[in-house]
Structure 1
Amino acid sequence: MKNKRKHKIKQFEEIEINETYKDTPSSKQEDSQSNEIDQTSNSIQHQEQEQKYDFNVIPIKVVALTVFLFLLGVIFIIFGLVFLIKNPNKFQQYISLLIVGSLMIIPGVYYSCLLIKFMRADTRSTQQRILNELPID
Structure 2
Amino acid sequence: MSNKRKHKVKQYIEIEINETYKDTPTSKHGDSQSNELDQTNNSIQQQEPEQKYKFNVIPLKVVTLTVFLFILGVIFVIFGLIFLIKNPKKIQQYLSLLIVGSLMIIPGLYYSCLLIKFIKADSRSIQEKILNELPID
Would you call these one fold, judging by a TM-score over 0.5? Answer: yes
C-alpha distance after superposition, 1:19-72 (max 9, x if no partner): xxxxxxxxxxxxxxxxxxx59x72x52422xx1110010000000000000000
CA spacing shift, 1:78–1:9, aligned 2, 3 Å: farther
Residue 78 of structure 2 corresponds to which residue in structure 1? Answer: 78
Residue 38 of structure 2 corresponds to which residue in structure 1? Answer: none
C-alpha distance after superposition, 1:69-123 (max 9, x if no partner): 0000000000000000001111110000000000000000000010011111111
Residue 97 of structure 2 corresponds to which residue in structure 1? Answer: 97
Distance in 2, matches of 1:135 and 1:92, equals 34
Residue 2 of structure 2 corresponds to which residue in structure 1? Answer: 3
- Number of corresponding residues: 108
Residue 45 of structure 1 corresponds to which residue in structure 2? Answer: 47
2:129 is the counterpart of 1:136 = no
Runs of 4+ in 1 over 6 A off after TM superposition: none
Q: Structure 1: where are the runs of 5+ without partners? A: 18-37
**TM-score, normalised with respect to structure 1:** 0.71
Q: Which has the larger radius of gyration?
A: 1
Q: Structure 2: where are the runs of 5+ without partners? A: 5-20, 32-41
Q: Which amino acid aligns with 1:117?
A: K
Residue 122 of structure 1 corresponds to which residue in structure 2? Answer: 122
